[in-house]
């Protein structure tokens, strides 16, 4: 009875480990391929995923997080309190909150501020430079992995490492199965020898 429960537990743990390794491999392949294909951040169902590598929006958006942003729509629609992602003069993407909206003729300008900053950003943001709106979805620490995936070394490691782990685990499982067969065959041959001697 105990052996039966032990075998079921081993099978369950084995299945769980295999499933986790396969999910990890699939996730790493998705992140790496979608990052390379979109020439930047991963994209899924119309949402782009951006890495946050500064603490200007803490505590809502932690350093090293991934955030989901929606790139479509009218970029003149934002109002005070909305969080937008925009391109600054140095062509860096920044995600800050709209502090004030100014209209100059046909142009809309946004004054922006990081929640963790003491003052508004020095330059107002033209609506043409707004890339997306932050949708309130964030995953802490995953941004470090995505940022690492941008590098050649990171891409290689994130694709190869889960595969190696999966192969290693498969080899271990096969070795255990062979060992159990050998033990079973040895015990069966001992029983056969005992019967012959009788």
Q: How many domains does the chain have?
A: 2
- Which CATH number goes with the domain that contains 78? 2.10.109.10
- The dihedral region occupied by 39, where left means phi > 0, alpha psi between -120 and 50, and beta the remainder, is left
Phi-psi region of 81 (alpha: psi -120 to 50; beta: other; left: phi over 0): left
> pLDDT digit string (tens) for 43-79?
667 778 888 888 889 888 888 888 889 887 888 899 9
Q: CA quadruple 6, 11, 15, 17: dihedral positive or negative? A: positive
98 plus 61 within the same structural domain: yes
Banded pLDDT at 15 (limits 50, 70, 90): confident
Q: Which residue blocks in 92-151 are alpha helix, DSSP H? A: 142-149
Domain hosting 5: range is: 1-36+150-182
Residues 129 and 48 in one domain: yes
Chain segment 134-162, per-residue pLDDT in tens: 988 888 877 777 677 667 777 677 667 77
- The token pair at 87 is 């391109």
Do both 32 and 45 map to the same domain? Answer: no
Taking the C-alpha atoms of residue 17 and residue 5, their distance in angstroms, rounded to an integer, is 18
Report whether pLDDT(186) > 90: no
| pLDDT recorded at residue 174 | 82
Active site residue 54: yes
103-123 exposure pattern, b = at least 16 Cβ within 10 A, e = fewer:
eeeeebbbbbbbeeeeeebee
**Residue in 34, 38, 54, 187 annotated catalytic:** 54
Query: Both 97 and 115 in a single domain?
Result: yes
Cα atoms found within 13 Å of the Cα of residue 170, Cβ hemisphere only: 9
pTM for the full predicted model: 0.59
Question: Which strand (E) or helix (H) includes residue 92?
Answer: none
Does some domain include residue 197? no
Mean pLDDT over each residue of the chain, to the nearest integer: 79
Does residue 40 or residue 158 have the better pLDDT?
158
69 with 135: CB under 8 angstroms? Answer: yes
């Amino acid at each position: 009875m105990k052996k039966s429960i032990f075998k079921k537990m081993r099978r369950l743990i084995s299945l769980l480990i295999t499933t986790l390794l396969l999910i990890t491999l699939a996730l790493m392949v998705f992140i790496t391929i979608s990052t390379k294909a979109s020439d930047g951040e991963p994209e899924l169902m119309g949402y782009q995923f951006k890495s946050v590598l500064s603490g200007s929006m803490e505590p809502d958006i932690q350093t090293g997080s991934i955030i989901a942003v929606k790139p479509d729509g009218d970029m003149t629609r934002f109002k005070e309190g909305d969080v937008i992602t925009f391109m600054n003069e140095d062509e860096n993407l920044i995600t800050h909150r709209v502090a004030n909206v100014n209209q100059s003729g046909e142009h809309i300008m946004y004054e922006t501020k990081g929640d963790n900053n003491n003052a508004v950003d020095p330059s107002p943001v033209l609506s043409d430079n707004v890339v997306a709106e932050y949708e309130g979805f964030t995953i802490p620490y995953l941004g470090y992995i995505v940022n690492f995936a941008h590098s050649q070394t990171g891409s290689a490691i994130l694709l190869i490492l889960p595969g190696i782990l999966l192969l290693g685990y498969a080899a271990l499982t096969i070795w255990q199965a062979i060992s159990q067969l050998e033990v079973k065959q040895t015990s069966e041959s001992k029983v056969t020898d005992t019967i012959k001697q009788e």
